[in-house]
Chain A
Amino acid sequence: MKKLYLILFIILPFTSRAQDDLMKMVSDSNEVIVRSATFKATRIINGHSVETVGKNNLDFIISHRFDRVNRGFDEFFGLDAATNRLGLEYGLNDRLMVGIGRSSFQKMYDFFGKYKLLRQSSGAGNIPISLTLFSGYSLRTQSTSANLSGYDRSSYTSQLLIARKFSEGFSLQLSPTLIHRNRPDIFTDSKTVIATGIGGRMKLTKRTSINGEYHYVFPNQIDDNYTNNLSFSFDLETGGHVFQLLFTNSFGMTERQFITETDGSWGSGDVHFGFNISRTFSFEKKKKANP
Chain B
Amino acid sequence: MKRFLIIPVFILISLCASAQNQLYSVKNSEFSFFSKAPLEDIEARNTKASSIINTANRELVVRIPITQFQFSNKLMQQHFNENYMESEKFPNATFKGKINEMIDFSKSGVYEVSASGTLNIHGVDKERTIKGKLIVGENALNLDARFDVMLIDHKIDIPKLVFKKIAEKIAVSASINYIPYKK
**Contact-residue size bin, chain A (C-beta under 8 Å from the other chain):** 35 or more
User: A26, B52: Cβ atoms under 8 Å?
Assistant: yes
User: B79, A239: Cβ atoms under 8 Å?
Assistant: yes
Contacts A17-B54, A37-B78; is A282 near B72 (CB within 8 Å)?
A: yes
Measured between beta carbons, the chain A residues less than 8 angstroms from B34 are 289
Measured between beta carbons, the chain A residues less than 8 angstroms from B88 are 35, 168
User: A290, B173: Cβ atoms under 8 Å?
Assistant: yes
Contacts A19-B59, A19-B61; is A57 near B7 (CB within 8 Å)?
A: no
Measured between beta carbons, the chain A residues less than 8 angstroms from B52 are 22, 25-26
- Which chain B residue shows the least CB distance to A237? B79
User: A91, B74: Cβ atoms under 8 Å?
Assistant: yes
User: A26, B51: Cβ atoms under 8 Å?
Assistant: yes
**Chain A 268-291 near chain B by CB (<8 Å), digits 1 or 0:** 000000000000111011110110
CB distance from B167 to the nearest CB of A (A): 13
**Which 3 residue pairs across A and B have the least CB separation, nearest first?**
A54-B74, A284-B72, A26-B50
B73 adjacent to chain A (CB < 8 Å): yes
Contacts A26-B61, A27-B63; is A8 near B75 (CB within 8 Å)?
A: no
B148 adjacent to chain A (CB < 8 Å): no
Measured between beta carbons, the chain B residues less than 8 angstroms from A36 are 67, 78, 81-82
Interface SS majority for chain B: mixed
Measured between beta carbons, the chain B residues less than 8 angstroms from A34 are 67
The CA-CA distance from A280 to B77 in the complex, in Å, is 12
CB distance from A5 to the nearest CB of B (A): 9
A146 adjacent to chain B (CB < 8 Å): no
**Chain B 5-16 near chain A by CB (<8 Å), digits 1 or 0:** 001100110011
Measured between beta carbons, the chain A residues less than 8 angstroms from B4 are 3-4
User: B8, A7: Cβ atoms under 8 Å?
Assistant: yes
CB distance from B183 to the nearest CB of A (A): 9
B91 adjacent to chain A (CB < 8 Å): yes
**Chain B 30-62 near chain A by CB (<8 Å), digits 1 or 0:** 101110000010010100001110100101011
- Which chain A residue shows the least CB distance to B44? A289
- Which of B7, B8, B16, B61 is the one whose CB lies under 8 Å from A22? B61
A153 adjacent to chain B (CB < 8 Å): no
CB distance from A167 to the nearest CB of B (A): 9
Interface residues of A in 219-253 (CB under 8 A from B): 237-240, 242
- Which chain B residue shows the least CB distance to A283? B72
User: B8, A26: Cβ atoms under 8 Å?
Assistant: no
B19 adjacent to chain A (CB < 8 Å): yes
Measured between beta carbons, the chain B residues less than 8 angstroms from A91 are 74
The CA-CA distance from A17 to B40 in the complex, in Å, is 44
CB distance from A2 to the nearest CB of B (A): 10
Interface residues of B in 107-160 (CB under 8 A from A): 117, 159
B96 adjacent to chain A (CB < 8 Å): yes
